[in-house]
Structure 1
Amino acid sequence: MRPLTDDQIRASFINASKGEAKRAELPDLSAVRWEQLDYLGWQDARRPAQHYVVLEVDGEPVGLQLRGTGQAPLRKMLCAWCEDVIDGVGAASFVAPLAGAAGRRGNTIGTAVCADFRCSRNARRAPTAVEVRTEDPALLAHHREQRIAALRERCARFAAAVQRG
């Protein structure tokens, strides 16, 4: 992911008003390792139920405002974006207001995403023996690149669903 500024992030939100985007508590962008991310996700420090995700779609940043449902999963959930079952943290349910008039009427769309937005790390992890039965570096690299591409595609599909409203 290419580095973004505060202004670029605030201008990228497709399902938040300008006021909501302005009030969003952004993470410390100087600490972000952009080259290792497929999207930037964070929780608003001042409003714990409020979350944000910024991803690249067709080379442009697209920001999404998300709300946590407040319900911890009773068991591990599969993340809809990285499709990884994570040891420890797990996926959580989020809803995103739809863009435009539908969102202003209160319509939302939901998904399950890694609770700590670690999808990029999951896509880049070494495959388990069950996933890939090889030690060939070329095949392992191919597997990793396929997981990254699939993550980006699923994130973009969710953003498109929010955009369509």
Structure 2
Amino acid sequence: MKQLTAADVRASFINTSLRERKAVTLPAKFDTLAWTDLDYLGWKDPKLPTIGYVVAHLEDGPTGIMLRQSVGRTRSRPQCSWCEDVTLPNDVHYFTARRAGPAGRAGDTVSTLVCANFECSANVRKLPPMAYTGFDREAARAKRIERLELRSGGFVADLRHTA
């Protein structure tokens, strides 16, 4: 992911009000993030534990969204829709995000299952287990990174559709 400034991050949000945008608490250690190891920037708001933020690089630049975590518990262990890691060391939560524009103001939302603290970029960079003799683990890791970028970016891009 390309490095962003705090102003870039705040200006990128498409489904927030101006007041919400100004109130965004940036992630801890924002100035020292390893941007090259991120497929998207995602974090939970330390002041509002059920609020999360995601910024993805789309074709026309960085695009940010605000998500709300569902407070209910699932009956089984869900799989993250973005990294699709079946051996996750972390929890997965159900997040909902308003669409941008008039549709979002009218209550139109989109939901997904995502790693609780948006650890997908770290998860896909782990070497997968050896599936069979001759399995190319590096190629599998590269494919997982590529698919994460497509799924997370696709979710963010979908929120721009206002009709």
* Fold match (TM-score > 0.5): yes
| 1:140 Cα deviation from its structure 2 partner | 2.5
Distance 2:134 2:119 in 1: 25
Say whether the 8 Å CA contact 1:13–1:62 is kept in structure 2.
yes
Distance 1:155 1:88 in 2: 20
* Match status 1:67 vs 2:68: yes
Counterpart in 1 of 2:85?
84
| 1:160 Cα deviation from its structure 2 partner | 1.8
Alignment of 1:44-123 (within 5 A): 44-58=45-59, 60-123=61-124
Counterpart in 1 of 2:142?
145
Distance 2:116 2:109 in 1: 19
- Which runs of 5 or more residues in structure 1 are unaligned? none
| 1:128 Cα deviation from its structure 2 partner | 1.1
Letter in 2 for 1:142: A
Distance 1:128 1:59, change over 3 A: farther
Distance 1:59 1:122, change over 3 A: farther
Letter in 1 for 2:130: A
Counterpart in 1 of 2:151?
154
Say whether the 8 Å CA contact 1:43–1:50 is kept in structure 2.
yes
Say whether the 8 Å CA contact 1:76–1:85 is kept in structure 2.
no
Distance 1:87 1:24, change over 3 A: same
TM-score (norm 1): 0.91
Distance 1:8 1:16 in 2: 15
Letter in 2 for 1:19: R
Superposition CA RMSD, Å: 1.5
| 1:58 Cα deviation from its structure 2 partner | 1.6
* Match status 1:22 vs 2:22: yes
Residues 132-161 of structure 1: CA distance to partner in whole angstroms, max 9, x if unpaired? 5436xxx32221111111100011111121
* Match status 1:163 vs 2:160: yes
Letter in 2 for 1:25: T
Report the number of matched residues: 161
Distance 1:154 1:44, change over 3 A: same
Distance 1:14 1:133, change over 3 A: farther
Percent of aligned positions that are identical: 39
